[in-house]
Homo-oligomer: A and B are copies of this chain.
Amino acid sequence: SPKPIYRSSFTHFSVCVCVCVCVCVCVCLGSNYAMSNGGGGAGASISTHLLDLLEEPIPGVGTYDDFHTIDWVREKCKDRERHRKINSKKKESAWEFTKSLYDAWSGWLVVTLTGLASGALAGVIDIVADWLNDLKEGVCLSAMWFNHEQCCWDSNETTFAERDKCPQWKTWAELILGQAEGPGSYIMNYFMFTFWALSFAFLAVSLVKVFAPYACGSGIPEIKTILSGFIIRGYLGKWTLMIKTITLVLAVASGLSLGKEGPLVHVACCCGNIFSYLFPKYSKNEAKKREVLSAASAAGVSVAFGAPIGGVLFSLEEVSYYFPLKTLWRSFFAALVAAFVLRSINPFGNSRLVLFYVEYHTPWYLFELFPFILLGVFGGLWGAFFIRANIAWCRRRKSTRFGKYPVLEVITVAAITAIVAFPNPYTRQNTSELIKELFTDCGPLESSQLCQYRSQMNGSQAYPAGSDAAAAPGVYSAMWQLSLALVFKIIMTIFTFGLKVPSGLFIPSMAIGAIAGRIVGIAVEQLAYYHHDWFLFREWCEVGADCITPGLYAMVGAAACLGGVTRMTVSLVVIVFELTGGLEYIVPLMAAVMTSKWVGDAFGREGIYEAHIRLNGYPFLDAKEEFTHTTLAREVMRPRRNDPPLAVLTQDDMTLAELQNIISQTSCNGFPVIVSKESQRLVGFALRRDITIAIENARRKQEGIMLNSWVYFTQHAPTLPADSPRPLKLRSILDMSPFTVTDHTPMEIVVDIFRKLGLRQCLVTHNGRLLGIITKKDILRHMAQMANQDPESIMFN
């Protein structure tokens, strides 16, 4: 009986509330701490020690502008430098030793906090979304804060078969009109359903629009970009977290064709980012912070699907860019912590992490691989179609006037969804519950329409457990309704993903796959029942025994469709494997996911997230995509053949005025420093931002800096005329180990170097002489050009 579980759920509810309070306190602490450190998103002022240990660091040097790319190599050096400093100091005093211990443990602390917060938030979101969703249908009179299921658990008056009907639960028609049946009450329920859906949708989109525009969408494309080394200030901030959590609940409850799984990853990453402000090791280093974010995304998937191992693999395969083994271990820990917090909150009342956990009891047979592969083909086709259609629609929204009315758009889509969804029971119910119903096998206790089989004994409509049977009319009408639901979900999902509300894609994709899978499964089952003398079925299916599991087909279909859309592989199989727990169902899953990926890739190699990254013009250098062209570095570098020469600085014969002139006349992010114009031999590289900050700093602090002051990057000042003003030494901001490649280097190697080392730019030389520069943007534009796409779509540096 489910009651004890339900009670333990609410015993644990207090735990949940406590955790949430703690989380909120920590979040506030964290962000206040960040504020007091002047923090927004980027690292602060430790370093440049790396560059020159003798000079005093200039505040601000080594930080990044918004919408710019970080330099992984430099960030890692900064971190090692910091680590060395702490290590050398730790024997000085007990305080320093404590600080070094805090530093050493901060990695574990931050992932633990992130896991706790993600688990708690996921639990709260699950519970509140469930309640709001049921609010569309009615209200629990005995206790307003109970959802439909909880309301009826307390009732002793109903039988098990009618467990969702109880006197405490009143539909709106019963409450307002006082009658439960009849066309009037149907219309009243219809109206209230639509009304609540529209209210939730309106509230969600308004909150997003007013408070945190970054809270919309699934967030995974942006997180991928951020993890690849890009700065988007505020994308993972506390406002985004708060608004995304609230609007996610509203969006899910509004009945739009979207899921909460993708946004949960965003929520978890926000937690990770906010907690990292408690630890200077992470708050002041963009590369280290991304390790926390990788762990956070694993925790997000872990709570979204109840799959800790799958979450880690998702983070590794799909989201993360740079994933050292230390991070793997910590991500695993974060994922586990999050999963256990969620489990102790027990939002579904079944001691499981997800609503759609299933156990199958019959094996699968080899001939079933054929329908499984067919489902894979369907998944691949759906994925390819969805990506094209959704991107075309989003591009249209971006380029036309239409995108200027996001609230109107959301309300329109929500209204259409609610109006069309209500009459069909499979679209009216929560999508997660639909998936659960489709995954679950028919048993003797199952009262669903999908399980109305004719008993073989007496022709009655009870389903006999443990054997195939002929479908009763209930199944046929369910098939019709499911087909209509399939078409509806396909159309609505295309228009929903990309709306200005939090919207995940996993659940709608899985629902589409599960519907298709269940339909195929029932078809095969009936085929096996009516044609059990075919040699295929004769071999494997004994008459009267259970042979085909339609629930398994639904699960395989869900995996195939999700694979087609996201092009995930291992992580997807492991996530779904963790839902069933049976190793033997991996083979069908793998066959379907593999097929769906191949079919999808035949129409275009990008998954939906990469497509959205490209749509937004983020500078994302995909580690999965192979660069296969034969171009050389000299063909990609700037300056091109007819361009003006490269803006360079010389190491010791420029005045401040000349330097400022060069800076103001060009828009490059950095300048190579050479020995002299004649020799063109490379000395180092100086970033525009660092030069500007250093000049301002010198103007403020050093006296005698004038426009005709000499600027030098060498160790010692050049010999100057007697009357010249005090020179300005800029060696401390000079990167004396810039990456260089020769002009003959094939671009495939250059791309590899950029990917693996996380470079921002690379200088090109020929026989030791500086020729040009290649930036990440140049590479992305070149790749876009090679793929016959518009190179101008790459917008950021």
With A80-B748, A84-B630, A736-B744 as given contacts, are A340 and B767 in contact (CB-CB < 8 Å)?
no
Q: Is A756 an interface position by the 8 A CB rule? A: yes
CA distance A582 to B377 in the complex (A): 33
Q: Using known A-B contacts A336-B586, A570-B312, A757-B756, determine if residue A746 contacts B77 with beta carbons closer than 8 Å.
A: yes
Instruction: Check: A192 CB closer than 8 A to any chain B CB.
Output: no
Query: Which of A329, A574, A753, A769 counts the most B-chain CB atoms under 10 A from its CB?
Result: A329
A583 — which chain B residues lie within 8 A by C-beta? 308, 339, 578
In the complex, A740 Cα to B737 Cα: how many Å? 10
Whether the Cβ atoms of B769 and A336 lie closer than 8 Å is no
A587 to B50, CA, bound (A): 41
Say whether B309 contacts A317, CB under 8 Å.
no
**With an 8 A cutoff between CB atoms, is A527 at the interface?**
no
Which A residues between 326 and 371 are near B, CB-CB below 8 angstroms?
326, 328-329, 332-333, 336, 339-340
- Per-residue CB contact flags for chain A residues 290-327 toward chain B (1 = under 8 Å, else 0) read 00000000000000000011001000110000001110
Tell me, yes or no, whether A573 is within 8 Å of chain B by CB: yes
Looking at A233-241, A449-457, A620-628, the stretch in contact with chain B turns out to be A620-628
A737-776 interface (Cβ within 8 A of B): 737-738, 740-742, 744-746, 748-749, 752-753, 756-757, 765, 767-770
- Chain A residues 613-650 with CB under 8 Å of chain B are 623-624, 626, 628, 630, 633
Task: Give the docked Cα–Cα distance between A577 and B332 (Å).
Answer: 13
Chain B CB within 8 A of A472 CB: no
Contact check, A624 vs B325: say whether CB atoms are below 8 A apart.
yes
Known contacts: A336-B586, A682-B767. The answer to whether A737 contacts B748 by CB under 8 A is no
Nearest-Cβ distance from residue A185 to partner chain B, whole angstroms: 45
> Is A569 in contact with B329, judged by CB distance below 8 angstroms?
yes
Would you call A581 an interface residue if the criterion is a C-beta within 8 Å of the partner chain's C-beta atoms? Answer: yes
User: Number of A residues whose C-beta is below 8 Å from B?
Assistant: 66
Q: Is the CB of A752 within 8 A of B746?
A: no
Q: How far does the alpha carbon of A239 sit from the alpha carbon of B548 in the complex, in Å? A: 47
Would you call A675 an interface residue if the criterion is a C-beta within 8 Å of the partner chain's C-beta atoms?
A: yes
The residues of B that contact A570 with a CB separation of less than 8 Å are 312, 328-329, 332
Cβ distance A62 to chain B, nearest Cβ, rounded Å? 15
Q: How far is the CA of A684 from the CA of B578 in the complex (A)?
A: 53
Interface: A679 (CB within 8 A): yes
Q: Are B767 and A749 in contact (CB under 8 A)?
A: no
Which B residues touch A740, using CB under 8 A? 740
A683 at interface, CB cutoff 8 A: yes
Is A590 close to B, CB under 8 A? yes
How many angstroms from the CA of A50 to the CA of B632 in the assembled complex?
Answer: 11
CB distance from A253 to the nearest CB of B (A): 29
B768 A679 Cβ-Cβ under 8 A:
yes
A729 at the interface (CB under 8 A from B): no
Chain B contacts for A340, CB-based, 8 A:
587
Nearest chain-B residue to A750 (Cβ)? B737
Known contacts A308-B583, A683-B767, A753 near B744 by CB under 8 Å? no
Interface residues of A in 264-307 (CB under 8 A from B): none
In the complex, chain B residues whose CB is within 8 Å of the CB of A577 = 309
**Nearest CB of chain B from residue A3's CB, rounded to whole Å:** 20
Within 8 Å by CB of A80, from B308, B628, B675, B680, lies: B628
Kindly supply a per-residue 1/0 record for chain A positions 664-695, scoring 1 wherever the CB is within 8 Å of any chain B CB and 0 otherwise: 00000000000100011111100000000000
A757 touches B767 (CB 8 A): no
Q: Which residue of the partner chain, among B77, B324, B333, B628, contacts A83 with CB atoms under 8 Å?
A: B628
Residues in B whose Cβ lies below 8 Å from that of A757: 752-753, 756-757
A325 contacts which chain B residues (CB < 8 A)? Answer: 317, 569, 623-624
Residue of B with least CB distance to A331: B570
* Closest Cβ–Cβ distance, residue A723 to chain B (whole Å): 30
Residues in chain B near residue A742, CB distance under 8 A? 684, 736-738
Q: State in angstroms the CA–CA spacing of A325 and B741 once bound together.
A: 27
Provide the bound-state CA to CA distance between A398 and B745, in Å. 45
Check if B748 sits within 8 Å of A77, measured CB to CB.
yes
A76 CB within 8 Å of chain B: yes
Residues of chain B contacted by A328 (CB below 8 angstroms): 316-317, 569-570
Instruction: Say yes or no: A768 contacts B333, CB within 8 Å.
Output: no
Q: CB within 8 A of A745: which of B326, B683, B737?
A: B737
A73 is an interface residue with CB less than 8 A from chain B: yes
Asked if B752 and A76 make an inter-chain contact with CB atoms under 8 angstroms apart, the answer reads yes
Give Cα distance in the complex from A1 to B738, angstroms. Answer: 71
Complex CA–CA separation, A583 to B581 (angstroms): 10
Asked if B587 contacts A628 (CB within 8 A), the reply is no
In the bound assembly, the distance between CA atoms of A769 and B769 in angstroms comes to 9
Q: Restricting to A570-606, which residues have a CB under 8 Å from any CB of B?
A: 570, 573-574, 577-578, 581, 583, 586-587, 590
With a cutoff of 8 Å between Cβ atoms, the chain B residues found around residue A749 in the complex are 73, 77, 737
Q: How far is the CA of A740 from the CA of B765 in the complex (A)?
A: 10
When the two chains form the complex, which single residue of B339, B736, B769 contacts A681, counting CB atoms closer than 8 Å? B769
In the assembled complex, the CB of A175 is this many whole angstroms from the nearest CB of chain B, namely 42
Residues A767 and B573 in contact in the complex (CB < 8 Å), given A50-B746, A737-B744, A737-B746: no
Q: Closest approach, in angstroms, between the C-beta of A496 and any C-beta of chain B? A: 29
Chain B minimum-CB-distance residue to A332: B570
Residue pairs across A and B with Cβ atoms less than 8 A apart, 18 shown, are A73-B752, A76-B748, A80-B628, A84-B628, A84-B630, A309-B577, A312-B570, A316-B328, A325-B569, A328-B570, A333-B590, A339-B583, A340-B587, A675-B767, A675-B768, A736-B742, A737-B744, A757-B757
Please name the 3 residue pairs, one residue from A and one from B, whose CB atoms are nearest each other, closest first.
Answer: A681-B768, A737-B745, A768-B768
Residues of A at under 8 Å CB distance from B? 50, 73, 76-77, 80, 83-84, 308-309, 312, 316-317, 324-326, 328-329, 332-333, 336, 339-340, 569-570, 573-574, 577-578, 581, 583, 586-587, 590, 623-624, 626, 628, 630, 633, 675, 679-684, 736-738, 740-742, 744-746, 748-749, 752-753, 756-757, 765, 767-770
Task: Given contacts A329-B569, A753-B757, A768-B768, list 20 more A-B pairs with CB under 8 A.
Answer: A50-B746, A77-B748, A80-B626, A80-B748, A309-B309, A309-B577, A324-B623, A332-B570, A333-B590, A336-B587, A339-B583, A340-B587, A675-B767, A681-B767, A684-B742, A737-B741, A740-B740, A756-B756, A757-B757, A765-B768
